Amino acid sequence: DQQVKQNSPSLSVQEGRISILNCDYTNSMFDYFLWYKKYPAEGPTFLISISSIKDKNEDGRFTVFLNKSAKHLSLHIVPSQPGDSAVYFCAASERNSGYSTLTFGKGTMLLVSP
């Protein structure tokens, strides 16, 4: 049973527009959420995170929103650039579980066209 779901396998956006990537989770014990970006033939790189005590975290062009009641988070990229084309993974963890293991979604491939 998938605890972290990214229901859109792919997303296409034009350069300069907003990209919105979505993620849903089912485990109410998750209290820390992360987004990773992955280019082909490379390891995932950490992008941005958010704690469950917040509903928004911003870092430059990247903003993550958390809606705890809906068990939903989203990553906004504004403005989108061709270099943002990659696979984006949503991940979640239970900070109070004792060990910091992450549960990942299956990923969404973002294509930003010029």
Partner 1 sequence: DAGITQSPRHKVTETGTPVTLRCHQTENHRYMYWYRQDPGHGLRLIHYSYGVKDTDKGEVSDGYSVSRSKTEDFLLTLESATSSQTSVYFCAISDREQETQYFGPGTRLLVL
Residues that bind partner 1 (CB under 8 A): 6, 32, 34, 36, 41-46, 49, 89, 91, 93, 95, 99-102, 104-107
The tokens for 64 are: 């993550």
* Least Cβ distance, residue 43 to partner 1 (angstroms): 4
- CB nearer partner 1, residue 5 or residue 15: 5
Pairwise CA distance, residues 53 & 47, whole Å: 19
* Least Cβ distance, residue 27 to partner 1 (angstroms): 14
37: helix, strand or coil? strand
- CB nearer partner 1, residue 85 or residue 107: 107
Residue type, 44: P
* Least Cβ distance, residue 69 to partner 1 (angstroms): 23
Pairwise CA distance, residues 87 & 103, whole Å: 16
10 Cβ contact list (under 8 Å, min separation 6)? 108, 109, 110, 111
- CB nearer partner 1, residue 49 or residue 79: 49
- CB nearer partner 1, residue 39 or residue 55: 39
* Least Cβ distance, residue 16 to partner 1 (angstroms): 29
The tokens for 90 are: 């949503």
